[in-house]
Structure 1
Amino acid sequence: MKTDTLFTKPISKQFEFDADVAAVFDDMLVRSVPFYKESQALTRRFTLNALAEGGIVYDLGCSTASLLLEIERAAGKNSGVRLIGIDNSPAMITHAHKKLEAYGSSIELYEGDILQFPYEKAQVIISNYTLQFIRPMVRDTLVRTIAETLNEGGSFIFSEKVVSEDPKLNKELIDCYYEFKKVQGYSEYEIVQKREALENVLIPYTMNENIQMAKNNGFKTCEVLFRWANFATFIAIK
Protein backbone atom coordinates (compact mmCIF):
# COMPACT_ATOMS: atom_id res chain seq x y z
CA MET A 1 0.00 0.00 0.00
CA LYS A 2 1.57 3.26 -1.18
CA THR A 3 1.87 6.05 1.43
CA ASP A 4 -0.16 9.23 0.95
CA THR A 5 2.21 12.19 0.48
CA LEU A 6 0.05 14.08 -2.05
CA PHE A 7 -0.27 17.26 -0.02
CA THR A 8 3.36 17.70 0.96
CA LYS A 9 3.63 19.98 -2.09
CA PRO A 10 1.60 23.10 -2.93
CA ILE A 11 -1.79 22.26 -4.45
CA SER A 12 -2.44 23.24 -8.05
CA LYS A 13 -6.13 22.25 -8.34
CA GLN A 14 -9.21 21.25 -6.41
CA PHE A 15 -9.39 17.73 -5.05
CA GLU A 16 -10.36 15.07 -7.57
CA PHE A 17 -10.19 11.29 -7.69
CA ASP A 18 -7.44 11.12 -10.31
CA ALA A 19 -4.57 8.67 -10.82
CA ASP A 20 -2.45 10.31 -8.10
CA VAL A 21 -5.22 9.95 -5.52
CA ALA A 22 -6.11 6.41 -6.63
CA ALA A 23 -2.50 5.28 -6.14
CA VAL A 24 -2.53 6.21 -2.43
CA PHE A 25 -6.25 6.02 -1.68
CA ASP A 26 -6.23 2.98 0.60
CA ASP A 27 -3.59 4.60 2.82
CA MET A 28 -5.40 7.95 2.67
CA LEU A 29 -8.65 6.38 3.92
CA VAL A 30 -7.11 4.60 6.89
CA ARG A 31 -5.12 7.67 7.97
CA SER A 32 -7.77 10.29 7.18
CA VAL A 33 -11.00 8.67 8.39
CA PRO A 34 -11.16 7.96 12.14
CA PHE A 35 -11.98 4.33 12.97
CA TYR A 36 -12.35 3.59 9.28
CA LYS A 37 -11.83 -0.16 9.67
CA GLU A 38 -14.35 -0.33 12.50
CA SER A 39 -17.05 1.52 10.56
CA GLN A 40 -16.40 -0.71 7.55
CA ALA A 41 -16.71 -3.79 9.73
CA LEU A 42 -20.13 -2.54 10.86
CA THR A 43 -21.11 -1.91 7.25
CA ARG A 44 -20.04 -5.43 6.33
CA ARG A 45 -21.96 -6.95 9.26
CA PHE A 46 -25.24 -5.16 8.53
CA THR A 47 -24.87 -5.86 4.81
CA LEU A 48 -24.55 -9.58 5.51
CA ASN A 49 -27.53 -9.43 7.89
CA ALA A 50 -29.66 -8.05 5.04
CA LEU A 51 -28.42 -10.72 2.63
CA ALA A 52 -29.60 -13.80 4.47
CA GLU A 53 -31.36 -14.98 1.30
CA GLY A 54 -28.94 -13.52 -1.22
CA GLY A 55 -29.51 -10.53 -3.49
CA ILE A 56 -27.71 -7.67 -5.16
CA VAL A 57 -25.37 -5.22 -3.39
CA TYR A 58 -24.28 -1.94 -4.95
CA ASP A 59 -21.33 0.07 -3.67
CA LEU A 60 -21.66 3.64 -4.97
CA GLY A 61 -18.26 5.25 -5.31
CA CYS A 62 -16.57 1.91 -4.69
CA SER A 63 -13.04 3.34 -5.18
CA THR A 64 -10.58 0.42 -5.10
CA ALA A 65 -13.27 -2.14 -4.12
CA SER A 66 -11.74 -3.02 -0.73
CA LEU A 67 -15.08 -3.20 1.07
CA LEU A 68 -16.72 -5.32 -1.64
CA LEU A 69 -13.82 -7.76 -1.42
CA GLU A 70 -14.31 -8.04 2.35
CA ILE A 71 -18.03 -8.67 1.87
CA GLU A 72 -17.31 -11.30 -0.79
CA ARG A 73 -14.87 -13.13 1.50
CA ALA A 74 -17.32 -13.03 4.41
CA ALA A 75 -20.35 -14.10 2.35
CA GLY A 76 -18.57 -16.86 0.47
CA LYS A 77 -18.49 -17.24 -3.30
CA ASN A 78 -21.47 -19.64 -3.34
CA SER A 79 -23.75 -17.38 -1.31
CA GLY A 80 -25.95 -16.24 -4.19
CA VAL A 81 -24.91 -12.65 -3.53
CA ARG A 82 -24.11 -10.42 -6.50
CA LEU A 83 -21.68 -7.58 -5.70
CA ILE A 84 -21.51 -4.53 -7.97
CA GLY A 85 -19.19 -1.54 -7.65
CA ILE A 86 -19.66 1.76 -9.48
CA ASP A 87 -17.20 4.64 -9.64
CA ASN A 88 -16.83 7.56 -12.05
CA SER A 89 -13.03 7.63 -11.68
CA PRO A 90 -11.22 5.59 -14.37
CA ALA A 91 -8.12 5.47 -12.16
CA MET A 92 -10.06 3.98 -9.24
CA ILE A 93 -11.68 1.36 -11.45
CA THR A 94 -8.28 0.43 -12.89
CA HIS A 95 -6.84 -0.11 -9.39
CA ALA A 96 -9.96 -2.04 -8.36
CA HIS A 97 -9.68 -4.38 -11.37
CA LYS A 98 -6.08 -5.18 -10.42
CA LYS A 99 -7.21 -6.16 -6.91
CA LEU A 100 -10.07 -8.29 -8.17
CA GLU A 101 -7.77 -10.11 -10.59
CA ALA A 102 -5.27 -10.81 -7.80
CA TYR A 103 -7.99 -12.30 -5.58
CA GLY A 104 -9.87 -14.16 -8.32
CA SER A 105 -12.96 -12.17 -7.46
CA SER A 106 -16.32 -12.27 -9.25
CA ILE A 107 -17.27 -8.71 -8.22
CA GLU A 108 -18.67 -6.63 -11.09
CA LEU A 109 -17.17 -3.17 -11.65
CA TYR A 110 -18.55 -0.33 -13.73
CA GLU A 111 -17.09 3.05 -14.55
CA GLY A 112 -20.12 5.31 -14.55
CA ASP A 113 -22.22 8.08 -13.06
CA ILE A 114 -24.18 6.91 -10.00
CA LEU A 115 -26.82 9.53 -10.83
CA GLN A 116 -27.54 7.93 -14.21
CA PHE A 117 -26.71 4.24 -13.68
CA PRO A 118 -29.34 1.65 -14.83
CA TYR A 119 -29.84 -0.06 -11.47
CA GLU A 120 -31.50 -3.43 -10.97
CA LYS A 121 -33.54 -4.19 -7.86
CA ALA A 122 -31.18 -4.64 -4.90
CA GLN A 123 -31.19 -5.70 -1.26
CA VAL A 124 -28.36 -3.42 -0.06
CA ILE A 125 -26.82 -0.20 -1.34
CA ILE A 126 -23.64 1.16 0.23
CA SER A 127 -22.24 4.66 -0.09
CA ASN A 128 -19.03 5.44 1.77
CA TYR A 129 -18.18 9.15 1.90
CA THR A 130 -19.76 9.62 -1.54
CA LEU A 131 -22.94 11.65 -0.98
CA GLN A 132 -20.87 14.54 0.39
CA PHE A 133 -19.33 14.96 -3.08
CA ILE A 134 -22.76 15.11 -4.77
CA ARG A 135 -24.10 18.63 -5.26
CA PRO A 136 -26.83 19.34 -2.67
CA MET A 137 -29.36 20.24 -5.39
CA VAL A 138 -29.28 16.66 -6.73
CA ARG A 139 -28.41 14.76 -3.54
CA ASP A 140 -32.07 14.20 -2.68
CA THR A 141 -32.70 12.87 -6.19
CA LEU A 142 -29.93 10.29 -5.76
CA VAL A 143 -31.25 9.15 -2.38
CA ARG A 144 -34.74 8.83 -3.88
CA THR A 145 -33.29 6.68 -6.68
CA ILE A 146 -31.54 4.53 -4.08
CA ALA A 147 -34.81 4.00 -2.21
CA GLU A 148 -36.64 3.12 -5.43
CA THR A 149 -33.91 0.63 -6.35
CA LEU A 150 -34.06 -1.23 -3.04
CA ASN A 151 -36.45 -4.06 -2.31
CA GLU A 152 -38.95 -3.48 0.49
CA GLY A 153 -37.03 -3.86 3.74
CA GLY A 154 -33.72 -3.26 1.94
CA SER A 155 -30.87 -1.35 3.54
CA PHE A 156 -29.00 1.79 2.54
CA ILE A 157 -25.77 2.01 4.55
CA PHE A 158 -23.82 5.22 4.14
CA SER A 159 -20.93 7.00 5.84
CA GLU A 160 -20.47 10.76 5.73
CA LYS A 161 -18.44 13.57 7.20
CA VAL A 162 -20.90 15.67 9.23
CA VAL A 163 -21.02 19.21 10.58
CA SER A 164 -22.49 20.41 13.85
CA GLU A 165 -25.43 22.78 14.04
CA ASP A 166 -23.55 24.67 16.76
CA PRO A 167 -20.67 26.81 15.38
CA LYS A 168 -18.53 26.54 18.54
CA LEU A 169 -18.95 22.78 18.76
CA ASN A 170 -18.29 22.45 15.04
CA LYS A 171 -14.92 24.16 15.44
CA GLU A 172 -14.08 21.86 18.34
CA LEU A 173 -14.97 18.82 16.23
CA ILE A 174 -12.72 20.05 13.42
CA ASP A 175 -9.86 20.66 15.86
CA CYS A 176 -10.36 17.17 17.25
CA TYR A 177 -10.18 15.74 13.74
CA TYR A 178 -7.03 17.67 12.88
CA GLU A 179 -5.37 16.29 16.01
CA PHE A 180 -6.30 12.81 14.82
CA LYS A 181 -4.65 13.47 11.45
CA LYS A 182 -1.47 14.73 13.12
CA VAL A 183 -1.27 11.50 15.13
CA GLN A 184 -1.54 9.61 11.82
CA GLY A 185 1.60 11.40 10.59
CA TYR A 186 0.14 14.25 8.54
CA SER A 187 1.85 17.61 8.97
CA GLU A 188 0.05 20.88 9.61
CA TYR A 189 0.98 21.90 6.06
CA GLU A 190 -0.55 18.75 4.54
CA ILE A 191 -3.74 19.21 6.57
CA VAL A 192 -4.16 22.82 5.40
CA GLN A 193 -3.37 21.92 1.79
CA LYS A 194 -5.99 19.16 1.70
CA ARG A 195 -8.59 21.36 3.38
CA GLU A 196 -8.09 24.01 0.69
CA ALA A 197 -8.25 21.40 -2.09
CA LEU A 198 -11.59 20.14 -0.75
CA GLU A 199 -13.12 23.60 -0.38
CA ASN A 200 -16.49 23.66 -2.21
CA VAL A 201 -15.88 20.09 -3.41
CA LEU A 202 -16.88 18.22 -0.24
CA ILE A 203 -20.13 19.67 1.16
CA PRO A 204 -21.22 17.88 4.36
CA TYR A 205 -24.64 17.92 6.04
CA THR A 206 -25.44 17.77 9.75
CA MET A 207 -26.32 14.41 11.25
CA ASN A 208 -29.99 15.39 11.41
CA GLU A 209 -29.98 16.64 7.80
CA ASN A 210 -28.69 13.25 6.63
CA ILE A 211 -31.35 11.40 8.61
CA GLN A 212 -34.12 13.70 7.38
CA MET A 213 -32.89 13.40 3.79
CA ALA A 214 -33.31 9.62 3.98
CA LYS A 215 -36.76 9.85 5.56
CA ASN A 216 -37.92 12.45 3.04
CA ASN A 217 -36.92 10.27 0.10
CA GLY A 218 -38.45 6.86 0.67
CA PHE A 219 -36.97 5.38 3.86
CA LYS A 220 -39.15 4.53 6.85
CA THR A 221 -36.27 4.74 9.32
CA CYS A 222 -32.69 6.02 9.48
CA GLU A 223 -30.34 5.69 12.44
CA VAL A 224 -26.69 6.23 13.27
CA LEU A 225 -24.66 3.02 13.51
CA PHE A 226 -21.41 4.71 14.45
CA ARG A 227 -20.10 8.20 15.10
CA TRP A 228 -16.74 9.67 15.99
CA ALA A 229 -16.67 13.49 16.23
CA ASN A 230 -17.55 14.68 12.71
CA PHE A 231 -17.68 11.27 10.99
CA ALA A 232 -20.80 9.07 11.02
CA THR A 233 -22.16 5.84 9.55
CA PHE A 234 -25.92 5.59 9.00
CA ILE A 235 -28.36 2.81 8.13
CA ALA A 236 -31.67 3.56 6.43
CA ILE A 237 -34.33 0.88 5.97
CA LYS A 238 -36.93 1.03 3.20
Structure 2
Amino acid sequence: MSVTPPSPPDRLYQTETVPEDFAFSERVVEVFDDMLDRSIPFYQEVIKATARLLERYLQPGDTICDLGCSTGSSLLQLARLLEGRELRLIGIDNSPAMLEKARCKATLFDRDKQMRFILEDITRLQRPGTGAFICNYTLQFIRPIRRPALINGLFANLRPGGVLIVSEKTVLPASALNRGFIDIYHDFKRERGYSELEIARKREALENILIPFSIEENISLLGDAGFTPVTPFFQWFNFSSFIACKPG
Protein backbone atom coordinates (compact mmCIF):
# COMPACT_ATOMS: atom_id res chain seq x y z
CA MET A 1 0.00 0.00 0.00
CA SER A 2 1.28 3.50 -0.84
CA VAL A 3 2.33 5.76 1.99
CA THR A 4 1.53 9.45 1.86
CA PRO A 5 4.71 11.55 1.80
CA PRO A 6 5.05 13.19 5.22
CA SER A 7 3.81 16.74 5.47
CA PRO A 8 6.50 19.29 6.35
CA PRO A 9 6.27 20.19 10.05
CA ASP A 10 4.03 23.10 10.98
CA ARG A 11 6.38 25.95 11.96
CA LEU A 12 4.24 28.82 10.72
CA TYR A 13 3.96 30.48 14.11
CA GLN A 14 7.50 30.15 15.44
CA THR A 15 8.19 33.80 14.66
CA GLU A 16 7.83 36.72 17.09
CA THR A 17 6.25 38.89 14.40
CA VAL A 18 2.54 39.63 14.63
CA PRO A 19 0.76 36.96 12.55
CA GLU A 20 -1.59 37.71 9.71
CA ASP A 21 -5.20 36.60 10.04
CA PHE A 22 -5.40 32.87 9.38
CA ALA A 23 -6.12 31.94 5.77
CA PHE A 24 -5.86 28.72 3.77
CA SER A 25 -2.90 30.03 1.78
CA GLU A 26 -0.22 28.00 0.01
CA ARG A 27 1.97 28.33 3.12
CA VAL A 28 -0.77 26.76 5.24
CA VAL A 29 -1.51 24.07 2.64
CA GLU A 30 2.13 22.95 2.67
CA VAL A 31 2.00 22.05 6.38
CA PHE A 32 -1.73 21.47 6.75
CA ASP A 33 -1.68 17.71 7.26
CA ASP A 34 0.84 18.06 10.10
CA MET A 35 -1.19 20.95 11.55
CA LEU A 36 -4.36 18.84 11.42
CA ASP A 37 -2.73 15.84 13.06
CA ARG A 38 -1.27 17.90 15.91
CA SER A 39 -4.18 20.32 16.43
CA ILE A 40 -7.41 18.29 16.20
CA PRO A 41 -7.93 15.84 19.10
CA PHE A 42 -9.02 12.32 18.06
CA TYR A 43 -9.34 13.34 14.43
CA GLN A 44 -8.89 9.80 13.09
CA GLU A 45 -11.35 8.38 15.63
CA VAL A 46 -14.01 10.87 14.51
CA ILE A 47 -13.50 9.82 10.87
CA LYS A 48 -13.83 6.15 11.85
CA ALA A 49 -17.01 6.91 13.80
CA THR A 50 -18.34 8.84 10.80
CA ALA A 51 -17.74 5.81 8.57
CA ARG A 52 -19.68 3.60 10.99
CA LEU A 53 -22.63 6.00 10.87
CA LEU A 54 -22.53 6.28 7.08
CA GLU A 55 -22.57 2.49 6.76
CA ARG A 56 -25.98 2.53 8.42
CA TYR A 57 -27.53 5.47 6.60
CA LEU A 58 -26.21 5.40 3.03
CA GLN A 59 -27.75 3.55 0.10
CA PRO A 60 -26.00 2.07 -2.95
CA GLY A 61 -25.24 4.81 -5.45
CA ASP A 62 -25.32 7.59 -2.84
CA THR A 63 -23.02 10.60 -3.03
CA ILE A 64 -20.92 11.78 -0.08
CA CYS A 65 -19.89 15.45 -0.25
CA ASP A 66 -17.07 16.58 2.02
CA LEU A 67 -17.47 20.35 2.42
CA GLY A 68 -14.24 22.18 3.10
CA CYS A 69 -12.37 19.01 2.16
CA SER A 70 -8.91 20.69 2.39
CA THR A 71 -6.19 18.23 1.29
CA GLY A 72 -8.63 15.32 1.00
CA SER A 73 -7.43 13.36 4.05
CA SER A 74 -10.92 12.70 5.43
CA LEU A 75 -12.37 11.63 2.09
CA LEU A 76 -9.45 9.30 1.39
CA GLN A 77 -9.85 7.71 4.81
CA LEU A 78 -13.60 7.29 4.27
CA ALA A 79 -12.95 5.69 0.86
CA ARG A 80 -10.78 3.10 2.60
CA LEU A 81 -13.21 2.50 5.47
CA LEU A 82 -16.22 2.21 3.12
CA GLU A 83 -14.40 0.04 0.56
CA GLY A 84 -16.69 -2.11 -1.57
CA ARG A 85 -19.77 0.09 -1.26
CA GLU A 86 -21.20 1.74 -4.37
CA LEU A 87 -20.63 5.36 -3.41
CA ARG A 88 -19.59 8.54 -5.17
CA LEU A 89 -17.16 10.75 -3.26
CA ILE A 90 -16.89 14.50 -3.87
CA GLY A 91 -14.61 16.94 -2.06
CA ILE A 92 -15.50 20.63 -2.25
CA ASP A 93 -13.28 23.53 -1.21
CA ASN A 94 -12.70 27.16 -2.16
CA SER A 95 -8.89 26.90 -1.98
CA PRO A 96 -7.23 25.91 -5.28
CA ALA A 97 -4.01 25.03 -3.42
CA MET A 98 -5.85 22.63 -1.09
CA LEU A 99 -7.60 20.96 -4.02
CA GLU A 100 -4.38 20.54 -5.97
CA LYS A 101 -2.84 18.67 -3.04
CA ALA A 102 -6.03 16.60 -2.59
CA ARG A 103 -5.95 15.51 -6.24
CA CYS A 104 -2.28 14.54 -5.98
CA LYS A 105 -3.02 12.40 -2.90
CA ALA A 106 -6.00 10.75 -4.62
CA THR A 107 -3.76 9.83 -7.57
CA LEU A 108 -1.07 8.51 -5.23
CA PHE A 109 -3.59 6.17 -3.60
CA ASP A 110 -5.22 5.18 -6.92
CA ARG A 111 -8.49 6.84 -5.86
CA ASP A 112 -8.59 9.50 -8.57
CA LYS A 113 -11.27 7.58 -10.54
CA GLN A 114 -13.42 7.12 -7.42
CA MET A 115 -13.51 10.70 -6.18
CA ARG A 116 -13.65 14.23 -7.54
CA PHE A 117 -12.39 17.45 -6.01
CA ILE A 118 -14.24 20.60 -7.02
CA LEU A 119 -13.57 24.31 -6.53
CA GLU A 120 -16.85 25.73 -5.24
CA ASP A 121 -18.38 28.07 -2.68
CA ILE A 122 -20.27 25.81 -0.27
CA THR A 123 -22.70 28.61 0.59
CA ARG A 124 -24.02 28.39 -3.00
CA LEU A 125 -24.10 24.62 -3.21
CA GLN A 126 -26.61 22.95 -5.54
CA ARG A 127 -26.33 19.15 -5.29
CA PRO A 128 -29.87 17.76 -4.89
CA GLY A 129 -30.24 14.12 -3.90
CA THR A 130 -26.97 13.92 -1.94
CA GLY A 131 -26.86 11.05 0.55
CA ALA A 132 -24.51 12.64 3.08
CA PHE A 133 -22.76 15.93 3.66
CA ILE A 134 -19.68 16.07 5.88
CA CYS A 135 -18.75 19.41 7.38
CA ASN A 136 -15.68 18.89 9.56
CA TYR A 137 -14.32 22.02 11.26
CA THR A 138 -15.76 24.12 8.43
CA LEU A 139 -18.85 25.87 9.81
CA GLN A 140 -16.70 27.66 12.39
CA PHE A 141 -15.05 29.61 9.54
CA ILE A 142 -18.43 30.73 8.12
CA ARG A 143 -19.73 34.01 9.50
CA PRO A 144 -22.50 33.23 12.03
CA ILE A 145 -25.05 35.33 10.15
CA ARG A 146 -24.55 33.12 7.06
CA ARG A 147 -24.74 29.75 8.80
CA PRO A 148 -28.54 29.32 8.90
CA ALA A 149 -28.83 29.80 5.12
CA LEU A 150 -25.99 27.32 4.55
CA ILE A 151 -27.57 24.65 6.77
CA ASN A 152 -30.98 25.25 5.19
CA GLY A 153 -29.38 24.70 1.80
CA LEU A 154 -27.74 21.45 2.89
CA PHE A 155 -31.06 20.20 4.25
CA ALA A 156 -32.74 21.00 0.92
CA ASN A 157 -30.01 19.23 -1.07
CA LEU A 158 -30.10 16.00 0.96
CA ARG A 159 -32.34 13.17 -0.17
CA PRO A 160 -34.99 12.06 2.37
CA GLY A 161 -33.21 9.96 4.98
CA GLY A 162 -29.84 11.56 4.22
CA VAL A 163 -27.49 12.77 6.93
CA LEU A 164 -25.26 15.70 7.76
CA ILE A 165 -22.14 15.10 9.87
CA VAL A 166 -20.73 18.19 11.58
CA SER A 167 -17.58 18.47 13.68
CA GLU A 168 -16.71 21.76 15.33
CA LYS A 169 -14.70 23.50 17.97
CA THR A 170 -17.27 24.52 20.59
CA VAL A 171 -17.60 26.97 23.48
CA LEU A 172 -19.36 26.72 26.82
CA PRO A 173 -21.65 29.40 28.29
CA ALA A 174 -19.94 28.91 31.68
CA SER A 175 -16.83 31.08 31.24
CA ALA A 176 -14.70 29.46 33.97
CA LEU A 177 -15.35 25.96 32.65
CA ASN A 178 -14.76 27.17 29.10
CA ARG A 179 -11.36 28.56 30.10
CA GLY A 180 -10.54 25.23 31.72
CA PHE A 181 -11.41 23.34 28.55
CA ILE A 182 -9.22 25.71 26.51
CA ASP A 183 -6.33 25.20 28.93
CA ILE A 184 -6.65 21.43 28.54
CA TYR A 185 -6.66 21.84 24.76
CA HIS A 186 -3.49 23.93 24.95
CA ASP A 187 -1.91 21.14 27.03
CA PHE A 188 -2.83 18.79 24.18
CA LYS A 189 -0.97 21.04 21.72
CA ARG A 190 2.09 21.31 24.00
CA GLU A 191 2.24 17.53 24.21
CA ARG A 192 2.43 17.48 20.41
CA GLY A 193 5.39 19.83 20.26
CA TYR A 194 3.86 23.28 19.92
CA SER A 195 5.59 26.00 21.94
CA GLU A 196 3.87 28.66 24.05
CA LEU A 197 4.72 31.19 21.35
CA GLU A 198 3.19 29.07 18.58
CA ILE A 199 0.01 28.47 20.60
CA ALA A 200 -0.36 32.19 21.33
CA ARG A 201 0.43 33.26 17.74
CA LYS A 202 -2.02 30.75 16.24
CA ARG A 203 -4.77 31.81 18.62
CA GLU A 204 -4.21 35.46 17.68
CA ALA A 205 -4.27 34.65 13.97
CA LEU A 206 -7.61 32.82 14.35
CA GLU A 207 -9.28 35.55 16.41
CA ASN A 208 -12.36 36.83 14.57
CA ILE A 209 -11.75 34.23 11.82
CA LEU A 210 -12.80 31.08 13.71
CA ILE A 211 -16.05 31.77 15.59
CA PRO A 212 -17.30 28.70 17.48
CA PHE A 213 -20.84 28.03 18.68
CA SER A 214 -21.83 26.13 21.79
CA ILE A 215 -23.13 22.58 21.53
CA GLU A 216 -26.64 23.89 22.18
CA GLU A 217 -26.33 26.57 19.47
CA ASN A 218 -25.16 24.01 16.93
CA ILE A 219 -28.05 21.68 17.78
CA SER A 220 -30.54 24.55 17.48
CA LEU A 221 -29.03 25.62 14.15
CA LEU A 222 -29.48 22.13 12.76
CA GLY A 223 -32.91 21.60 14.28
CA ASP A 224 -34.22 24.92 12.97
CA ALA A 225 -33.34 23.79 9.44
CA GLY A 226 -35.60 20.73 9.83
CA PHE A 227 -33.10 18.06 10.85
CA THR A 228 -34.42 15.52 13.33
CA PRO A 229 -33.03 13.84 15.26
CA VAL A 230 -29.88 15.85 15.94
CA THR A 231 -27.42 14.47 18.47
CA PRO A 232 -23.73 14.66 19.41
CA PHE A 233 -21.86 11.40 18.83
CA PHE A 234 -18.44 12.54 20.08
CA GLN A 235 -17.04 15.15 22.46
CA TRP A 236 -13.55 15.89 23.74
CA PHE A 237 -13.67 18.99 25.92
CA ASN A 238 -14.16 21.88 23.43
CA PHE A 239 -14.44 19.68 20.31
CA SER A 240 -17.77 18.10 19.34
CA SER A 241 -19.25 16.05 16.50
CA PHE A 242 -22.95 15.79 15.58
CA ILE A 243 -25.15 13.74 13.30
CA ALA A 244 -28.24 15.43 11.88
CA CYS A 245 -30.83 13.38 9.99
CA LYS A 246 -33.26 14.50 7.32
CA PRO A 247 -36.59 12.78 7.92
CA GLY A 248 -37.27 10.07 5.36
Please tell me the TM-score bracket, short chain as reference.
over 0.9
SS in 1 for 2:122: coil
Does residue 71 (structure 1) correspond to residue 78 (structure 2)? The answer is: yes
1:28-77 superposed Cα distances (whole Å, 9 cap, x missing partner): 1111011111111111221222224330110000011111112222323x
Partner Cα distance (1:122, 1:85) in 2: 13
Query: Where do 1:155-166 residues align within 5 Å?
Result: 155-166=163-174
Match of 2:115 in 1: 107
The letter of the residue matching 1:229 is F
The letter of the residue matching 1:110 is I
* Counterpart selection for 2:187 from 179, 185, 193: 179
- Any gaps of 5 or more consecutive residues in structure 2? 1-5
Runs of at least 4 residues off by over 4 Å: none
Partner Cα distance (1:146, 1:111) in 2: 17
- Any gaps of 5 or more consecutive residues in structure 1? none
Percent of aligned positions with the same letter in both sequences? 43
Match of 1:167 in 2: 175
Partner Cα distance (1:127, 1:230) in 2: 17
Does residue 95 (structure 1) correspond to residue 114 (structure 2)? The answer is: no
Partner Cα distance (1:31, 1:73) in 2: 22
The letter of the residue matching 1:84 is I
User: Contact 1:48/1:71 (CA < 8 Å) preserved in 2?
Assistant: no
The number of residues matched between the two structures is: 237
1:218-237 superposed Cα distances (whole Å, 9 cap, x missing partner): 20111111000000011001
Does residue 33 (structure 1) correspond to residue 40 (structure 2)? The answer is: yes
* Counterpart selection for 2:143 from 113, 128, 135: 135
* Counterpart selection for 1:23 from 23, 30, 33: 30
Partner Cα distance (2:67, 2:56) in 1: 19
Does residue 45 (structure 1) correspond to residue 52 (structure 2)? The answer is: yes
User: Contact 1:181/1:191 (CA < 8 Å) preserved in 2?
Assistant: yes
- Scaled by the length of structure 1, the TM-score of the pair is 0.96
Does residue 146 (structure 1) correspond to residue 154 (structure 2)? The answer is: yes
Query: Where do 1:110-129 residues align within 5 Å?
Result: 110-129=118-137
Deviation at 1:82, TM superposition (A): 0.6
Partner Cα distance (2:174, 2:136) in 1: 25
Partner Cα distance (1:179, 1:138) in 2: 32
In structure 2, the CA distance between the partners of 1:97 and 1:11, relative to structure 1 (3 Å rule), is farther
User: Contact 1:83/1:108 (CA < 8 Å) preserved in 2?
Assistant: yes
